[in-house]
Every structure is written in C-alpha cells, then in structure tokens.
Structure 1
Amino acid sequence: MSFATDRRDHPLSMRLPDADIAVIDRAAYLRGRSRTDFVREAAVRAAEEVLMEAMPVRMTAEGFEAFIQTLSSPAQAVPEMMEVLQRPAPWERQGETGHEA
C-alpha cells in the first residue's frame, strides 16, 4: 500500500448501523460540526493515541539516571496545586449564587 499520492484529500467510506449514525450525528450537532468533520477529528485523535502508546521513549543514560532519581525522591508539594485542592468546590460555597446551602 503506497502512502505517496498527489491528491490532497482521500475518500473514506464506512458502513454503519443507523444507531451509530444517530449517535455520531447527535454528538456532531452538539459540537457544531459536520458528521465528516466530527468523525475525521475523532479518528485522527484515536490514531494519535495509539501511535503515542507505541512510541518508545528515548533518553541518554544520564537522563535516565536523573529520571529514576526523581521518581525515587520523596514527593514534594506543589504550592499552586495545594492552593487549588484546598479551595471549596463551587457547590460547597455559600452566598455566591444567592442560594444558601
């Protein structure tokens, strides 16, 4: 199978059950996209995820040693994350929406 071609676009045809088309059409509508755009975007995203899972991570011996050292070190709090985690959830806040809990 050759991937080299002069054409810019490549047709892709699928046979899908009515129920699948209905789900795709509803989701595409909610995103404000055409069926073609929605399916293309979803297929490309899924393909990229598969490729990323299969891609090996390469690093130097020194980089690997630093990576292992970081994983082996005690955890350190990230102040910005701690601040976010200590905030009350929106539904836990009183008086902001005019409704008291």
Structure 2
Amino acid sequence: MSSAAPLKDARLEFRVTSEQKEAIEEAAAIEGRTVTDFSASALVERAHAVIEQERRLRVDAVRFDAFLEVMDRPARSLDGLRDLMNRESVFVD
C-alpha cells in the first residue's frame, strides 16, 4: 500500500531580500530539505497557528472581569455534593 503525496496544483510567488533568501536556503540545507519544502511547511505551520489563535474563544473585558469576580468568590456548599464525594466509587481497578 503506497501513500502518494498530494498533488501540488497551486503556486505561490513572492519576493524576499537577499538576506532572507540566504537564511531560508541555509535553514533548508541544515534540515536536508528543498527550499520549497522547507518554506511551504513553515508557511503552513504559521498559517495554522494564526487560524487557531483566531478561532479561540474570545471574551470582552467586561465579561472577563465578571468571570473573574465569580471565580474569586468563596466556595459554597452544594446540597448532596459532600455525600456524593464520600460514596464508594463505582469504578474499580
């Protein structure tokens, strides 16, 4: 069973400074990869990080402050919770 590499059917082109090009080529050589492979993987990794950061839950300052206020309140006793925590576990080793 062979796993063929995905078809590379799109192209990106961009300009870099000579210093950037030299650094990219050196890093690719250190990892034993082509400049294309090194660059594409670095760009995709960064793209995923940006997308993940954008999709994380965001809370405005007012709601976050309200959340912190609730979290800072002293714990209160909940009916039946102490009994529940003292029962023998239904899970066995």
TM-score under structure 1 length normalisation: 0.47
Q: Deviations 1:44-94 (Å, cap 9, x if unpaired)?
A: 00000001111135xxxxxxxxxxxxx99xxxxxxxxxxxxxxxxxxxxxx
Q: How many residues align?
A: 54
Shift of residue 8, structure 1, vs aligned partner: 4.9
Give the % identical residues.
28
| RMSD over equivalenced CA pairs, Å | 2.2
Stretches (4+) displaced over 3 A? none
Match of 2:52 in 1: 52
For structure 1, the residue ranges without an aligned partner over 5 or more in a row are 1-6, 58-70, 73-101
TM-score under structure 2 length normalisation: 0.51
Shift of residue 9, structure 1, vs aligned partner: 1.4
Distance 2:8 2:28 in 1: 24
Q: Which has the higher contact order (CA 8 A, sep 6+)?
A: 2
